[in-house]
Chain A
Amino acid sequence: MSSIDKKKTSLRVLSQAQAQAPARAAEGSDTQKPTYWRSLAELEQSPEFLELASREFAMPLDQEPPNSPGRRRFMQIMGASMSLAGLDACRWREDKILPLSRRPEGMIPGSSRPFATAMEINGLAVGLHAMSYDGRPIKIEGNPQHPDSRGAAAAFHQASVLGLYDPDRSESVVARAGGARKESSWAEFQKTLSDLSTGLRSARGSGLCVLSERSSSPTLLAQKQRLLDTYPEAKWVTFEPTQSDGARAGSVLAFGKAHRVHYAFDAARVVLTLDADVVAPTFPAGLANARALTRLRTPERGQMSRIYAVESDQSLVAGLSDHRLAVRSSWIKAIAAELDARISAKVNALPELGAPQAAPAAAFLKDEKVQKFVSALLGDLLLSPNIGRSVIAVGPNQPAEVHALGYRLNQLLGNVGRTVFFTEDSDAADTSDVAALKSLVAEMNAGKVSTLVMLGGNPVYDAPADLSFSDALGKVKTSIHLALYEDETSERSSIHLPAAHYLESWGDARSLDGTISIVQPLIAPLYGGRTASELLAMLLGVGNPNGLELVRRTHPSLSAEHVWRKTLSEGVIAGSGVQRVAPKLKPLDKFPLSDFELSSKGVELVFATDAKIIDGRFANNAWLQELPETFSKLSWDNAVLISPRTAQELGVKEADSVTLTLAGRSVSLLALIAPGHADGSLKITLGHGRKSAGHVGGLVAESIDPVGGNAYAIRTSDAYQIAQGVGVTSNGTVPYRVPSTQDVYSVGAIGLSGTAERLPELVREGTLEEYKKKPDFVEEIVEHNPLLSLWVPPVSYEGHKWGMSIDLNKCIGCSACVTACQAENNIPVVGKLNVAMGREMLWLRVDRYYKGPPEDAEVAFQPIPCQQCENAPCEQVCPVGATMHSHEGLNDMIYNRCIGTRYCSNNCPYKVRRFNYFNYNLDTIGITPYTPTDDPKAKVKAMIFNPEVTVRSRGVMEKCTFCVQRIQNTKIKAKNAKRAIPDNEIRTACQQTCPTDAIVFGDLNDGRSRVASLQKQPRSYALLGELNNHPRVQYLARIKNPNPALAPAQEPKKEHG
């Protein structure tokens, strides 16, 4: 009844509203009306809105808690259909169509278009394309224009869009006084702030401190400057828990000035990584490195780079490396020094680099294996063609000296300027984040800080344990925390402000090489959140800041409308990269190396950035939590990784629960035995065990257990990266099903031998020499009878014939493809228990195999999508024909025909089929299985679904479709334009996001297509092809380029074989 005319009015006002929206924005920032408006009522300030609003603390309606009576009533008024749905749910649900009364130019309903934006983590931005469907971002891709991305994106980029639609995000300004939580509004906060700032102005800002996440945003930094000008006494502290100071300090040590180092791996013939996982997305410019490093791993070019990895844990680069040496992280500096000593002895080094220093007296260096490795490595590095064509990369966990040594070694080998470059790091702080935070905490404890503004971050959770930041925070009068979630820190600060997700924000940020990308919003803030720079603007007295204006003001060079539009469209400011410099290296004696008393007593503990949830910021992201970790294949948990021998020494068994003790602090978590892990070294990833992350990542208040163990609990400021003398006590095996997707239980002797026996056939591998001698050596690995068929196939696939080629030599196992697939195909999250029971739904999995002895096991990765067999075993066993072949050779699933006999899965040799054992989307579909829900949180959650793909219900089988929706869309486009489909126009989600271009999809009938030529290559083979399934997916064999000096002795091999 009233709902109807309400709708009418809203429809009426809409057109004017849109007409006026720009005008209003132009009116300037002092108006109280929001520039981003989501509710017409909000925009119009219509009477009934004002009436309601006054009741609800003058808050925009959509910002009040969804379960409050006001919201309920409002929902009833607005959504007649919902109550209807509630009443007779057993009737067919009616769908309403609500078009915009005036469609913006270029927006076509039902078709998606990309917007360029960028995501910044730890001060480094990666340019992205966000696909906008109906004005909603639904999928993230890499921005091909961006130097780091080049079209690729990491798992956490892919998953960030889920974070946007996270119903756990904080929905309103919250004020806390004496433990009492009171929902407030931006308007109120405005008042508070103005009172505050008058006081601060008079005090010239003394007592004001801004604690910021690391950011490279020019806008933010400009505002920082303006703030410090306005409040001379104010302090600005940057803290990033995963920021390691080694590189900066090392550069200061080596050059006396902070520089950033860049590697050109695609020009390097020899690569040495010292504890540096250079291809990991969390590594600076990791995506770019991955692409560059794998470029020289194509044997077809006849030449391959040779990669040496020295590290304590298995890393992504280890999968690529030809030789790997597992050493404690804390011992690696000895190796660096050894190299330096022996190289500077060999190379007639430039005199200003100082005298060659003596080889360190570290015991383990005498080890025959290490010696062999080092001398072989030296042989390669000093080979004349390799001079100036090698890279020595040092990892973030290494101390300053090792970085300095790294710079020096590159200098000695003549790499600087050819494969290694430096740029000035103008924004670099002069102390480490930890030091800065330490001094801040000291001041807080001393009561010198009256106002603390925290721009993002979660220090209460992730600050070093010994600082006890939480207590210090209690001593601050006014603490303001801007964050996406009401997290641990918000709970202890006096004011919490909802932050805007980057997909809701205007902003800018730099990549490692300084290239500036513009951050564009894809959707108005769902919960009225604001960005850090908007908050700063408020702090500087702007009433209602406009993010767009703030950014534009920072870039006067782009003021011209054309230039600006071009920049937005491209996403990056062309040529904004920082100038490369050739810094002058200080003589060695100017930075004395610390002693090498490397005791092999006790074990070290390495704190590592988590590849999925980084420092814990993504802890509430279900896609990332469910994503199996690259090596342990662990999801929904973290574990301390121990080498087999050390585990034996410590009396720890696989999947034990262990307690780590460090300086009186301790944490208990799962222990996993990691083949190839360095003896005496333990590794634990940060970011887990959060208590106030949300309904996914742990919410103790609602008795939702934290996920995994919290490494910060034992991480102190003095043992920040690598801790020595950690105590390990095993609590024995606990009744716990490890939520891992591979080797879910001890495989046992039979299993291991069986795996070892078939591994060479599954992941076929050879050396460059073998390949050159016999390019089609893969054919002979499996011998089988000629593959004859009883039948003449009913179809000869004219037209399109889709196929895929996966290069095992390029796959680094980063699993970005897995999350991309999940985002593209509405793959449900099943949760910890179901993963533990082996019911994960991921269509694409990256298999991880270890080969060789456990102490130094080599790792190999193999992505397994549906192989789209032409003679698909799954099809003939389905009693209802719910899976059958298309005329383009796709093995299609017909969901609504499937009754779930699961026979197809039994008969699939690759086990790529996934079954909905429960209705995993229940919370978005309904309370009971079959009634639509009207919970607004569910409505937010449901926005994540890709409208192009069916959301599967319970009891249905599903699997990889080669992204058939993308195929069809492109086919339709091509048909309308009356043109052929060029190669590489259709790209599957996994292919699109792959940083190393390992996955290639295309039409096998098109002779010029890449996939066709790749599948014709001699090292291309079909997995389990001997079953005569004719899979459409083929793999390119791994080709290694080992150093002959390190070739394994032949005899023992024979014995084993």
Chain B
Amino acid sequence: MAISDVNPFVEPPRGPNMFAQITDNVTRIAEVDKPPRAWYIAFGFAQLVLLMFLSSLGYVVWNGIGAWGNMMPVAWGFPIVNFVFWIGIGHAGTLISAILFLLRQNWRTAINRFAEAMTIFAVVCAGVFPGVHIGRPWLPYYMMPIPNQMDMWPQFRSPLEWDIFAVSTYATVSILFWYMGMIPDFATFRDRATTTVRRVAYGIVAMGWRGSSRQWHRYERAYLILAALATPLVLSVHSVVSFDFATAQLPGWHTTIFPPYFVAGAIFGGFAMVVVLAVPARQFFGLKRIITIRHLELMNKIIIATGLLVGYSYGMEFFIAWYSGGKYEQFTFVNRAFGPYAWAYWTMISCNVLIPQLHWFKAIRTNPWTTLAIGLFVNVGMWFERFVIICTSLTRDFLPSSWGYFIPTPVDYMTLGGSFGLFFTLFLLFCRYLPMVAMSEVKAFSPAAHAAHAHAGEHAHVPAPSHAEPAAALES
């Protein structure tokens, strides 16, 4: 088998029954003693980019924020744009695992695990920026309510202070959610472990889970509660981030539409990123059987929907500006579309509103590669959305005398590009060592598990509409 030499993951899963096959299909990615060369190449590259990231940050911390292009009036430049961008990315995961869970969308089980992983890594990337972008990067703890003899407390009216709490809460809850979901799978890894190291390592994180039904009972209850908690949370995070702008006085920021607008955008961008990661992952790690074309299609449908929401918000902003009759507000939006930064605005529009419309064609939304391409476009577009909102609005506010023009420095680009290095380093490590798919959940929704219910009487939950796919995939 030539292919299987290059990539050991392509050959069909082994096992007496479907449960075993699912287990094998997922676990072998982590259990293969030596990953294929491709993984090493990708990882090495990610490391280099990460190095660039760290060095650019080090340069900034040593010399001052001036190393970036920030100036007056554009006191927030790339760093905050990147922050909002990554936070946005970090929405799909929790959304998929929490909201789709509550909505009984069982197909989520195929993708929720690494969507959650992506969320956490994105939040990590985002979390770097607020700390580093401040003028005195050694003092971010001033923003925490730490008791001190000078009674210097944070100022809780500031949306930035809300951010601190919102983002850290979101990060914590996402990690808890992610970890809790992985406990049974860790147990599987532990029980299949062939080396002591693996057994001890996975044993510790599995915490001695043995799948007793009495444990499963509380586990499922806890999972449901976490999902219920995470759902409003995921909606709140980007709303709070949008408060940074919505509560400000600046024309172009001072808009009540921001919270829903930002959340829609976040889901939009987040799903695009999931797709971007899912397509190569399923191709490479032989997860086609579990992450099927239908999953991609469903996600693409969500992308169209949220894309339309975002497009609507863009339009609505203009309408409100016109309808408000505010001179400065109106100018800001005219300036956005036709001013010196028009190119950024139209990049955003074409990437976020026009290109996703291609998904109306089934041929396109069921083709992994077009899906990937459009996903990339959307991510670019979403970055530019934040750039347009932050930089363009700042360059021209109330007094024409204080207008300016923002030009990023090379360090800006290094920081932006470098943050992807951090992201992919973490993601590649995740693929290598952690269960990429929630095995227990996939099993729970597999037809074999379902055969039970006929006899087991009423359904505890899950009228699984989707029980065909995993089976179909696994037989193929």
Contacts and interface: CB of A to CB of B under 8 A. Distances in A.
**Direct A–B touching in the complex (beta carbon < 8 Å)?**
yes
A745 B340 contact: yes
Interface in B313-351: 327-328, 331, 334-335, 338-340
Given A754-B331, A877-B247, A917-B64, A899 B143 contact: yes
Contacts of A957: 135
Contact of A919 (B64, B160, B250): B64
Contact of B143 (A864, A879, A909, A919): A879
A918 B400 contact: no
Contact of B399 (A745, A909, A917, A956): A909
Interface string A828-868: 00000010011110000101110000000000001010000
Contacts, number: 181
B306 interface: no
Contacts of B135: 898-902, 915-917, 954-957
Interface string B52-71: 00000000001111100111
B339 A918 contact: no
Given A751-B339, A955-B136, A905 B75 contact: yes
B343 to A, nearest CB: 13
B134 A899 contact: yes
B469 interface: no
A950 to B, nearest CB: 15
Contacts of A901: 133-135, 160
B219 interface: no
B136 A754 contact: no
Contacts of A876: 155, 157-158, 247
A880 B142 contact: yes
A1027 B327 CA distance: 12
A744 interface: yes
A936 to B, nearest CB: 26
Contacts of A742: 401
A914 interface: yes
Interface string A866-882: 00000001001111110
A757 B330 CA distance: 12
B269 interface: no
A304 to B, nearest CB: 27
B289 interface: no
Contacts of B404: 744, 838
Given A744-B404, A880-B154, A955 B64 contact: yes
B365 interface: no
Contact of B155 (A839, A878, A916): A878
B66 A758 contact: no
B400 A897 contact: no
Interface stretch (B87-95, B371-379, B390-398): B390-398
Nearest to A953: B136
A899 B143 CA distance: 9
A1024 interface: yes
A955 B250 contact: no
A906 B71 contact: no
A909 B155 CA distance: 21
B142 A837 contact: no
Contacts of B69: 837
Contact of B401 (A839, A849, A929): A849
The majority secondary structure among interface residues of chain A is loop
Contacts of A884: 155
Contacts of B66: 834, 839, 917-918
Interface string A944-971: 0000000000111100000000000000
Contact of A899 (B136, B153, B397, B400): B136
Contacts of A919: 64
Contacts of B244: 903
Contact of B158 (A759, A847, A864, A903): A903
B401 A917 contact: no
Contacts of B65: 900, 915, 917, 955
A910 B154 CA distance: 25
A879 B166 CA distance: 14
A876 B134 CA distance: 17
B249 interface: yes
A954 B64 contact: yes
B249 A909 contact: yes
Given A750-B339, A906-B248, A879 B155 contact: yes
A781 interface: no
A897 B401 contact: no
A1043 to B, nearest CB: 30
A758 B142 contact: no
B369 to A, nearest CB: 41
A1027 B400 contact: no
A758 B335 CA distance: 14
Contacts of B137: 955
B164 interface: yes
A878 B158 contact: yes
B24 interface: no
Interface string B34-78: 000000000000000000000000000011111001111111100
A284 B72 CA distance: 38
Interface in B87-125: none
A446 interface: no
B338 A750 contact: yes
A904 to B, nearest CB: 9
B403 to A, nearest CB: 7
A902 B327 contact: no
B339 A838 contact: no
Given A917-B70, A1027-B249, A879 B401 contact: no
Contacts of A956: 135-136
A909 B398 contact: yes
A55 to B, nearest CB: 41
Contacts of B158: 876-879, 903
Contacts of B71: 837-839, 917
A197 B136 CA distance: 63
Interface string A668-694: 000000000000000000000000000
A838 B328 contact: no
B429 interface: no
B298 interface: no
Contacts of A750: 331, 334-335, 338-339
A757 B249 CA distance: 20
A378 interface: no
A907 interface: yes
A609 B249 CA distance: 43
Contacts of A744: 403-405
Nearest to A746: B340
B402 interface: yes
Contacts of A664: none
B441 interface: no
Given A906-B250, A915-B135, A955-B65, A848 B73 contact: no
A897 B136 CA distance: 10
Contact of A911 (B63, B64, B72, B134): B72
B418 interface: no
Contacts of B394: 906
A77 B331 CA distance: 66
Interface of B: 62-66, 69-76, 133-137, 139-140, 142-143, 152-155, 157-161, 164, 244, 247-250, 253, 327-328, 331, 334-335, 338-340, 394, 396-405, 407
Given A747-B403, A840-B72, A955-B137, 15 more contacts: A747-B400, A751-B339, A762-B399, A838-B73, A877-B160, A880-B143, A881-B154, A884-B155, A900-B134, A900-B136, A903-B75, A906-B76, A909-B398, A913-B72, A929-B62
Sorted from nearest, which 8 A-B pairs have the closest CB atoms?
A900-B135, A955-B135, A917-B66, A911-B402, A902-B75, A847-B401, A838-B71, A881-B155
27 contacts: A744-B403, A745-B405, A758-B331, A758-B400, A838-B71, A838-B405, A839-B71, A847-B399, A864-B401, A873-B248, A876-B247, A877-B157, A879-B160, A880-B154, A884-B155, A899-B143, A901-B160, A902-B70, A906-B250, A913-B72, A919-B64, A954-B64, A955-B64, A955-B136, A956-B136, A957-B135, A1024-B398
